[in-house]
Structure 1
Amino acid sequence: MRIVHDWLGPIELPEAPERIVSLAPNATDTLFALGLGQRLVGRSAFCYRPAGVLGLPVVSSYTRVRWELLASLRPDLVLVSTGVQRDLLQALFERGFPVYPLPLPQSPYGIMENVALLGALLGVSEAATRLAQGLAERYARLYRALPLRRVYLEFDLGGPITVGRGSYVDEALRHLGLQNIFSQHPQSYFVPQLAEVPKRGPDLFIYEPKPHRSRPREKVEQLMAERGWRLPLVVTGGDELAHYGPLFFGYLERLVEQIRGVLD
């Protein structure tokens, strides 16, 4: 089928792709949620959930590809995200791979839109509509689930990263009833000035470690002591709020329970 993409222009993709390589964890998550995991023949190193994906060949990191391996898998569709994968998208397109990018969402509703987009692309629109509707209902139940608190959120990505205006995470926190202390920052994702954090008066610190880190709470408590911070602390399981596939909504539900436990 012929599709006109906003960035790539006219592209040709198969009507019913059966050999899919996903280089984006959100796409991998969505494929399994739609019951299409059996179509995957390759993945990125960051596509490690659900467990059924782990036996597939690892074709790439998030931005670098093993080109010979990718070609040997004969994919009829390669899925990527936008954001930091934009250069990878262009390289795949220039090498002639049938690539399609799912846009980086600016709110959790964008995750649902991507479900519908991928469902239409793969010929399972009815299943995608049901999945998106279920996610929308779960998200709606979380509206103002928490008392108003000022929050500082930090991702460990080899150094501190936080979120500002235009991030789906910032919007999710607002939906829960929280106030991100950097919500007016013009960049969606940026390195914060740590000296600014106490000045903005946060009531709560949400910390997301790298996945599979041992003793993350102990390490962040040490980090807080070094910074001289004394705040109620919530530590996610790692790569949860940073994940923008359907599993995000389960992680958000768990975050609500964690925060309630800290505030009670």
Structure 2
Amino acid sequence: MSRPAPLRALLPVLALLGVAVLAGCANREEPAEPAPGDAAFPVTVRAEGAPAVTLEKRPERIVSLSPSATETLFAVGAGQQVVAVDNQSTHPPQAPRTDLSGLNLDPEAILAHSPDLVVVSADRENQLTGALGKAGVRTLVLPDARTLQAAYDQFALVGTATGHADEGADLARRTREDIEKIVADTPKPNPPLTYYHELDPTYYTTTSATFIGQVYGLFGLVNIADGDDPNASGGYPQLSAERILRANPDLIFLADTNCCGQNAETVAARPGWDTLDAVKEGRVYPLNDDVASRWSPRVVDLVHAVADAVRGAGS
């Protein structure tokens, strides 16, 4: 009958086994940590009035051909994923602006930037979506927001589509709360004030049926362009000088200061406009053209400007 080997005789063997086990653990690769936001993918998103799009993974090379979308992308924290924006995307300053056009969509020029996601405000008959899809590139359509709620929804959607869902939801919430507070802190004049919002010196304007018109409506302002049907001309009619003079609006807002050099002085110099109460009483308000034409997070700046005008008229 053999006797068991003494424990001290087994120690060298056990030590070698331990080294082998440790080496095996060291050589075994640990699962890679997912990149921030990757856990939320694949995800399907759809803006109101647009087709749904499914994103299998977080996009890392985004081309934005919509100035409003560009601002929102940076606001939700996806700026580092943006590799190119269109020639009208003027904000924020660090956005990689190019000569791409959001109006004349050129698939070949877009693909030159090697995107994995392209964001546009419109895609007629899904022509761009089809062309880019052949190259494996997804297209996200974010139509013009017709209401503040639609804008809030797009903020959250952009966050979800780019792997920043929490940031997108927070941006929507903060924007809504900021606007609600500004409106609540601004006394509504009684009777309501009338206003004219100018898009260019040929008297194109907006009605209360538009996104911009809804902002004015928050303060109970009455739009002189509404007439019998605020939806006529898609909410963007061209008025005559005679109609504006006849309406004699209490407030005049100029959204053609950057594009067309309009200001209180140029307005007062128009034939007959020096008789308007808004001109005589200093209630002509220049706006930043871009802020006054986009459904971006900077809509809060527009709400501030309108609130200041309403307070000034009531003082």
1:12 Cα offset (Å): 4.4
Identity of aligned residues (%): 23
1:141 aligned residue (155, 158, 181): 181
1:151 aligns with 2:195: yes
Task: State whether residues 209 and 239 of structure 1, in contact with CA within 8 Å, keep that contact through their aligned partners in structure 2.
Answer: no
Q: Bigger CA drift: 140-149 or 40-49? A: 140-149
Q: What corresponds to 1:74 in structure 2?
A: 114
Q: Which of residues 151, 169, 178 in structure 2 aligns to 1:111?
A: 151
CA shift for structure 1 position 167? 0.7
Q: Is the 8 A contact 1:59 1:69 kept in 2?
A: no
Q: Which moved more, 1:235-244 or 1:127-136?
A: 235-244
For residues 10-64 of structure 1, what are the alpha-carbon distances to aligned partners after superposition, in whole Å with 9 as ceiling and x for unaligned?
A: 64434211100111111111111111111111111110111111xx241423302
CA gap 1:7/1:149 in 2 versus in 1, 3 angstroms: closer
Report the RMSD for the aligned CA atoms in angstroms. Answer: 2.7
The CA deviation string for residues 74-105 of structure 1, in whole angstroms up to 9 with x for no partner, is 11111111xxx343x73311312421111322
Structure 1 residues 4 and 143: alpha-carbon distance in aligned structure 2, compared to 1, 3 A threshold: closer
1:106 counterpart SS class? coil
What corresponds to 1:190 in structure 2? Answer: 237
Q: Which residue of 2 aligns with 1:230?
A: 276
Match of 1:181 among 196, 217, 224: 224
Which structure has the greater CA radius of gyration?
Answer: 2
Distance 1:190 1:247 in 2: 25
- Cα deviation for residue 206 of structure 1 reads 1.2
Q: Do 1:59 and 1:65's aligned partners in 2 also have CA atoms closer than 8 Å?
A: no
C-alpha distance in 1 between matches for 2:151 and 2:51: 23
Q: Which moved more, 1:114-123 or 1:21-30?
A: 114-123
Which range moves more in the overlay, 207-216 or 24-33? Answer: 207-216
Q: Which residue does 2:4 correspond to in 1?
A: none
Unaligned runs of 5+ in 1: none
* Deviation (angstroms), 1:215: 6.3
Q: 2:171 is aligned with what amino acid?
A: L
Match of 2:89 among 47, 50, 59: 47
Deviation for aligned residue 1:226: 5.7
**1:93 pairs with 126, 129, 138, which one?**
129
Q: What is the alpha-carbon distance in structure 1 between the residues aligned to residue 173 and residue 276 of structure 2?
A: 40
Deviation, 1:155, is: 0.8
Structure 1 residue 38 corresponds to structure 2 residue 85? no
Instruction: Please say if residues 161 and 189 of structure 1, whose CA atoms lie closer than 8 Å, have aligned partners that are also in contact.
Output: yes
Distance change >3 Å, CA 216–CA 182, structure 1 → 2: closer
Shift of 1:4: 7.9
Number of aligned residue pairs: 256
User: More displaced, 166-175 or 250-259?
Assistant: 250-259
AA matched with 1:253: H
Asked if residue 127 in structure 1 is aligned to residue 167 in structure 2, the reply is yes
Contact 1:150–1:179 (CA<8 Å) still a contact in 2? yes
Q: Is the 8 A contact 1:20 1:79 kept in 2?
A: yes
Q: Distance in 2 between matches of 1:241 and 1:9?
A: 27
Distance 1:12 1:136 in 2: 27
Classify the secondary structure of the residue corresponding to 1:35: coil
Q: Which residue matches 2:30?
A: none
Task: Please state how far the C-alpha of 1:258 moved relative to its aligned partner.
Answer: 3.9
**Change in 2 beyond 3 A, CA 1:4/1:23:** closer
Q: TM-score if structure 1 supplies the norm length?
A: 0.84
Q: Which shifted more, 175-184 or 238-247?
A: 175-184
Rate the CA distance shift 1:139–1:194 in 2: closer, same or farther, 3 A: same
Higher-helix-fraction structure:
2
1:107 and 1:180 map into 2 onto residues whose CA distance is 16
2:196 partner amino acid: Y
Paired residue secondary structure (1:241): helix
Structure-1 residue corresponding to 2:60: 18
Matched residue type, 1:98: R
Distance in 2 of aligned mates of 1:7 and 1:201: 37
